[in-house]
Amino acid sequence: MNQDGLVNTADAQLFTDFNIGKITAFPACQKKSPCSQSGDVNGNTFVNQRDVLMIQDYILQKITLSADQKIRADVNPASGNGVIDIFDTLSLQDYIQGKQSSLPVCTAPPSITVFSPNGGEQWPIGSTQTIRWNTASKGGTVSIAILDYNKTTGDTNFTPYTITDSTNNNSYTWVVPSTFGGASSIGNNYKLLIGGYFWTDPGADRPGLIQDTSDAPFSIVAQ
Ligand SMILES: [Ca+2]
Ligand SMILES: [Ca+2]
Ligand SMILES: [Ca+2]
């Protein structure tokens, strides 16, 4: 079924997944690594169940792996973490069975960077300002908030004020309000926060939060 040369429960699982609609097709042929040699632990140019079994045997201390094999086995998370554990086997299995189109280590998360305000600005109440940021991949939605570092909330050293949810197109026009949360907005210790769930971590089965803040505080001043 998954053409790894083994007829075992993995094939039965594929049948089950197909019958209940979790997958829409069976792996048609032997898979290659989605990047360099990641996942191909035994180095035979194919990524299949034998590689998963090698990682499992390594975790159970039945076998040892060479330094290169350890690098190829560390497919999770996106940065590779130098730890070989069950999450690597689960990600590798998802890739082999077609549930994921790549391996986490082969899918670098996009970054987001706040450009303006990025620190030092003095924005008057009532003025129209352009909040700017940059993402490698546009699309989706970002949440924009102002963090007031002069006020703590719970166990955080800032108080957030939500501005809006905006299309992730790298800019948003903002009229600086006179109040935040019912109090004057005049202050000298604000940072802008931009964050969104516009990337799905293939190893986590859920969208991962990508966010950034101003590098240094900015101020809101009187009109
Ligand atoms: Ca292999
Ligand atoms: Ca790992
Ligand atoms: Ca930043």
**Residue ending a domain, choose from 89, 106, 123:** 106
pLDDT at residue 39 in the model: 96
pLDDT in tens, 67-114: 999 999 999 887 678 899 999 999 999 999 999 888 988 877 778 999
pLDDT at residue 26 in the model: 62
Residue 53 sits in which domain range?
9-106
Distance 212 CA to ligand 3 centre (A): 5
pLDDT band at 23 (very low <50, low <70, confident <90, very high): low
Nearest Cα neighbor of 183 from 213, 154, 161 is 161
Let me know if residue 121 belongs to a domain: yes
pLDDT at residue 19 in the model: 76
**Residue ending a domain, choose from 106, 136, 155:** 106
Let me know if residue 4 belongs to a domain: no
46 in the same domain as 17: yes
129 in the same domain as 64: no
Rounded Cα gap, residues 63 and 57, in angstroms: 6
Let me know if residue 138 belongs to a domain: yes
77 in the same domain as 40: yes
Q: Is 222 a residue whose pLDDT tops 90?
A: yes
216 in the same domain as 117: yes
73 in the same domain as 21: yes
Distance 85 CA to ligand 2 centre (A): 6
**Residue ending a domain, choose from 69, 90, 106:** 106
92 in the same domain as 26: yes
Residues with C-beta atoms within 5 A of ion ligand 3? 114, 212, 215
Structural domain count of the chain: 2
187 in the same domain as 154: yes
Rounded Cα gap, residues 156 and 160, in angstroms: 10
Contact 47, 92 (CB under 8 A): yes
Distance 19 CA to ligand 1 centre (A): 28
Whose atoms come closest to the Cα of 191: which ligand? 3
Is the model's pTM score more than 0.85?
no
Distance 201 CA to ligand 3 centre (A): 22
Q: Is 202 a residue whose pLDDT tops 80?
A: no
pLDDT at residue 139 in the model: 75
185 in the same domain as 147: yes
151 in the same domain as 100: no
Average the pLDDT over each of 119-133, 173-187, 199-213 and give the range with the smallest value. Answer: 199-213
What does the chain come to in residues?
Answer: 223
